[in-house]
């Protein structure tokens, strides 16, 4: 049974048979800071696209947009204006980055070190997987299951980068 992920989530990219850690929390935190610093630029334009990084091997390209919400009140229509994140994508600095799955599953790998720092009962592993690595994903999922980690799969087509938006979906883990 799958359940929506709300707790601690670690992200990995599986492409060309290689597993790379995606520093999701660090990227999102930096995005919050970046957005705050760029708000003033939306005074004169409806949206803004910027890029920062790299952080942990990934650039983040994001778009902020002005929004306007109207609410009917007894006094008439109230208008609320603001800025929100429209979307973001992650761009790897090297398409071939990461450890081979075989290396990642060895005891002294970067992957194993990251797992060791996180308790299985409190951590979900989300794997953004490209078509060339579906076989490796099955092996990885089996390994994570044996080590008591819930796993969420985010299959991607070759032309789709890792990304998200406030209107996207949350991961579902098994």
Residue pair 14/127 in contact (Cβ under 8 Å)? The answer is yes
**Domain membership flag for residue 62:** yes
Q: Please indicate, yes or no, if residue 17 is contained in any of the structural domains.
A: yes
Domain that holds residue 12: 3-37+47-173
Predicted local distance difference test score (pLDDT) of residue 1: 45
The domain tally of the chain equals 1
pTM above 0.95, yes or no: no
Tokens at residue 79, please? 């208008």
Q: For residue 42, is it within any domain?
A: no
Q: Averaged in consecutive runs of 10 residues, what is the pLDDT profile of the chain (174 residues)? A: 65 98 97 91 91 97 89 84 89 96 96 96 95 97 95 94 80 52
pLDDT score for 5: 52
- Phi/psi at 32 (5° precision): -60, -45
């Amino acid at each position: 049974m799958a359940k929506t992920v709300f707790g601690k989530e670690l992200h990995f990219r599986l492409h060309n048979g290689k597993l790379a850690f995606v520093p999701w929390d660090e990227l999102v935190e930096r995005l919050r800071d970046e957005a705050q610093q760029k708000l003033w630029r939306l005074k004169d334009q409806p949206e803004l696209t910027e890029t920062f990084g790299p952080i942990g091997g990934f650039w983040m390209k994001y778009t902020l947009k002005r929004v306007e919400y109207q609410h009917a009140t007894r006094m008439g229509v109230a208008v609320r204006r603001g800025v929100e994140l429209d979307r973001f994508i992650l761009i790897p600095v090297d398409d071939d980055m990461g450890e081979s799955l075989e290396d990642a599953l060895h005891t002294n790998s970067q992957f194993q070190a990251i797992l060791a720092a996180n308790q299985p009962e409190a951590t979900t592993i989300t794997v953004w997987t490209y078509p060339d690595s579906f076989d490796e994903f099955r092996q990885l999922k089996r390994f994570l299951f044996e080590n008591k980690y819930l796993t969420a799969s985010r299959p991607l087509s070759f032309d789709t980068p890792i990304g998200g938006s406030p209107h996207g979906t949350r991961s579902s883990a098994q």
